[in-house]
Amino acid sequence: MKFFVDTAEIDAIAELNDLGMVDGVTTNPSLILKSGRDILEVTKEICDLVDGPVSAEVVATQADAMIAEGRKLAEIAPNIAVKLPLTWDGLKACKLLTGEGRMVNVTLCFSANQALIAAKAGATFISPFIGRLDDINIDGMDLIADIRAVYDNYGYETQILAASIRSVNHVLESARIGADVMTAPPDVIKKLAAHPLTDKGLEQFLSDWAKTGQTIL
């Protein structure tokens, strides 16, 4: 599974990238707002830092304007994936931009039907939102499984990018089902290394070591 980090914070991306934990980055207007940076400036900095796809989202809602914004964002770097909403206008923009050879991430997907038509429109990535479905008492993992089944049935090459990841369990279940990519905030990625028995075991080892009175260095 590929790991994308869902943030526009440069320091957080750099830390994970140095550990080989970053296969790409996803951003959105809310994350740009949180960073307090200019969208073109911070996106260029992220693209220079990582080798993989960097999703940058349009804010227009009409196809022609989406296409214009998408082309502007794609000029930032070769690894830009233009992020488009899963609307009819978004699909029109997706079809044209992918036809121009650009990567496109179709976002805000909440049904397998939406994922199906996004794949037919040529989307590079489809971003089903797990956590937001969980918020309304719908199991987001069922959506990942449905999309995986549909894509495998017909050989669609669109990559499933599990998004709105809220927990380490979301990551595990997405991997079990076979999502191609997951995107999560830095803190969730770091929590993948945590386990209470690891902490307990380390505490015991250190206690026993202190009793030996020895040093390694």
- Residue 132: the pLDDT is 96
Phi first, then psi, for residue 41 (nearest 5°) are -65, -50
Domain of residue 176, CATH code: 3.20.20.70
User: What is the pLDDT confidence band of residue 50, given thresholds at 50, 70 and 90?
Assistant: very high
Domain range for 51 is 2-192
Render pLDDT for 78-108 as a digit per residue (tens, 0 to 9): 999 999 999 999 999 999 999 999 999 999 9
Tokens of 37: 């940076």
d(CA 76, CA 122): 22
Q: Give domain status of residue 134, yes or no.
A: yes
Global pTM reads 0.94
Torsion angle, CA of 192/193/198/200, rounded to 10 degrees?
Answer: -80
Please identify which of the residues 34, 44, 83, 120 carries the catalytic annotation: 83
- Longest distance between any two alpha carbons in the chain, whole Å: 72
Q: Give domain status of residue 206, yes or no.
A: no
Is 190 noted as a catalytic residue in this protein? no
Render pLDDT for 124-179 as a digit per residue (tens, 0 to 9): 999 999 999 999 999 999 999 999 999 999 999 999 999 999 999 999 999 999 99
Q: Give domain status of residue 203, yes or no.
A: no
The upper half-sphere exposure of residue 79, i.e. CA atoms within 13 Å in the direction of its Cβ, equals: 16
Q: Give domain status of residue 170, yes or no.
A: yes
Render pLDDT for 100-139 as a digit per residue (tens, 0 to 9): 999 999 999 999 999 999 999 999 999 999 999 999 999 9
Q: Give domain status of residue 205, yes or no.
A: no
Q: Give domain status of residue 199, yes or no.
A: no
Q: Give domain status of residue 198, yes or no.
A: no
**What's the structural domain count of the chain?**
1
User: What is the pLDDT confidence band of residue 201, given thresholds at 50, 70 and 90?
Assistant: very high
Q: Give domain status of residue 197, yes or no.
A: no
Tokens of 119: 């794949």
How many C-beta atoms surround the C-beta of residue 164 within 10 A?
A: 21
